[in-house]
């Protein structure tokens, strides 16, 4: 029987979950302990921290073309973050990654926004043939984190741009209130694992990385600890209200909202909404909703009601996305079914940087001054 947390909606499908005497899970308890103060911060305090951050970016940006790098996916969060940055007088460079799966809606949303705001945009187009080979390698190995490819490349490109424009500030459209909770370790993989990406590709067809912009643990650590590049969850500095943000985007930037989360990318929605639940028994909505519950933006009852429905908006859309996927990757229906029914294998069966990452993290924690912890 599946045990569900009494405070959030995480459950025992997350294998390493633990519950306290009141039935509350380690994920929401840990999240509240770590981020509770931050989540329910006094607005005046938040404002003064924002003022401080903006001053610092402007000071450091003097004589440079940009004050910061900002990722732009076409989603509400990153779009709102960039609007806020512009309204505060910052000069961001917008960076968008195209891995060949963007929905047309995302493309037009980005174009309208960038034109409306007058910001410079760099679109980094990943070579599709190489990206497809890497995806095929991940599918053939039956490992869970296929999005590792996009996320790793996204980090790599953001750090590259920061270096090129001599800024150490990357502002992300992320925030604690909607995505601060830890994802169960078995539900994804270390995002800085370049060695794992290479090993999976080699095992599949003997190929190697060519133009794919991967980043490994050492380069990541160098950026963080030596170059002191700051990855800022920019929306944490605001009382962020998603519904209001969408209204503003629609009104001022001809923005067309997506019917569901992750709709910017056809693959991401198929992966989150169908591949993960079907092949891996993972429903990522549990993390999303639990986040919203803990930060007071959704009731537990509402989350349970939503979870009772399948993650896909409709079977018509699911069928359409599966057909699109098969055509794009050149798969037959038999190959698709075989993939879904094969058992999962761990990323750990392939060379990995996870040990290195944990080692560097623990080492740097031990030697960081107590005041900076």
- Catalog residues that contact Zn ion under the rule CB under 5 A: 5, 7-8, 10, 25, 28
Element spanning 346, H or E: none
Minimum distance of Zn ion from residue 182's CB (angstroms): 11
Between 286 and 347, name the residue whose CB sits nearer to Zn ion: 286
Between 182 and 256, name the residue whose CB sits nearer to Zn ion: 182
Minimum distance of Zn ion from residue 181's CB (angstroms): 9
Minimum distance of Zn ion from residue 281's CB (angstroms): 18
Between 36 and 355, name the residue whose CB sits nearer to Zn ion: 36
Positions of E strands within the chain: 68-71, 92-98, 120-125, 169-172, 230-233
Minimum distance of Zn ion from residue 7's CB (angstroms): 5
Collapsed DSSP state (helix, strand, coil) of residue 176? helix
Between 8 and 68, name the residue whose CB sits nearer to Zn ion: 8
CA triplet 369, 372, 373: central angle to 5 degrees?
A: 95
Minimum distance of Zn ion from residue 5's CB (angstroms): 3
Between 201 and 286, name the residue whose CB sits nearer to Zn ion: 286
Minimum distance of Zn ion from residue 210's CB (angstroms): 43
Separation between Cα atoms, residue 237 and residue 44, nearest integer Å: 11
8 A C-beta contact, residue 344 and residue 143: yes
CA triplet 282, 285, 288: central angle to 5 degrees?
A: 125
Closest CA to 129 of 47, 209, 17: 209
HSE at residue 50, side-chain half, CA atoms within 13 A, is: 21
Between 8 and 249, name the residue whose CB sits nearer to Zn ion: 8
Minimum distance of Zn ion from residue 17's CB (angstroms): 8
CA 294 to each of CA 33, 185, 314: distance values in angstroms, whole numbers, following the listed order: 11, 20, 28
Minimum distance of Zn ion from residue 283's CB (angstroms): 15
Between 129 and 182, name the residue whose CB sits nearer to Zn ion: 182
Separation between Cα atoms, residue 35 and residue 27, nearest integer Å: 12
Between 179 and 321, name the residue whose CB sits nearer to Zn ion: 179
53-62 long-range contacts (CB < 8 A, ≥24 apart) are: 53/232, 53/237, 54/88, 54/89, 54/90, 57/90, 57/169, 58/89, 58/90, 60/167, 60/168, 60/169, 61/90, 61/91, 61/167
HSE at residue 8, side-chain half, CA atoms within 13 A, is: 30
Separation between Cα atoms, residue 146 and residue 196, nearest integer Å: 12
């Amino acid at each position: 029987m599946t045990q569900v947390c009494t405070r959030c909606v995480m459950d025992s499908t997350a294998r390493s979950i633990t519950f306290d005497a009141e039935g509350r899970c380690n994920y929401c308890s840990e999240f509240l302990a770590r981020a509770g103060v931050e989540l329910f911060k006094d607005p005046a305090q938040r404002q003064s921290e924002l003022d401080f951050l903006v001053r610092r970016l402007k000071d450091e940006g003097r004589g440079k073309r940009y004050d910061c790098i900002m990722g732009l996916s076409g989603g509400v969060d990153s779009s709102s973050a960039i609007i806020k940055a512009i309204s505060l007088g910052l000069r961001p460079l917008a960076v968008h990654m195209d891995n060949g799966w963007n929905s047309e809606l995302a493309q037009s949303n980005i174009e309208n926004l960038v034109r409306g705001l007058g910001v410079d945009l760099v679109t980094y187009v990943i070579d599709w043939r190489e990206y497809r080979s890497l995806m095929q390698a991940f599918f053939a190995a039956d490992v869970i984190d296929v999005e590792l490819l996009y996320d790793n490349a996204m980090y790599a490109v953001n750090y590259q741009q920061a270096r090129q424009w001599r800024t150490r500030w990357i502002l992300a459209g992320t925030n604690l209130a909607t995505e601060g909770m830890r994802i169960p370790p078995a539900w994804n993989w270390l995002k800085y694992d370049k060695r794992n990406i290479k090993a999976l590709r080699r095992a599949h067809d003997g190929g190697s990385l060519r133009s794919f912009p991967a980043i490994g643990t050492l380069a990541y650590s160098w950026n963080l600890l030596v170059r002191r590049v700051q990855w800022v969850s920019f929306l944490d500095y605001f009382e962020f209200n998603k519904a209001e943000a969408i209204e503003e985007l629609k009104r001022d930037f001809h923005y067309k909202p997506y019917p569901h989360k992750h709709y910017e990318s056809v693959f991401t929605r198929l992966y989150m909404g169908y591949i993960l639940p079907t092949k891996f028994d993972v429903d990522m909505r549990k993390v999303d909703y639990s986040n919203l519950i803990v930060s007071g933006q959704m009731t537990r009852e509402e989350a349970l009601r939503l979870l009772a429905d399948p993650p896909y908006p409709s079977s018509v859309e699911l069928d359409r996305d599966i057909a699109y996927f098969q055509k794009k990757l050149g798969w037959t229906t038999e190959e698709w079914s075989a993939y879904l029914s094969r058992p999962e294998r761990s990323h750990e069966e392939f060379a990995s940087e996870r040990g290195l990452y944990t080692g560097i993290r623990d080492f740097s924690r031990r030697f960081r001054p107590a005041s900076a912890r």
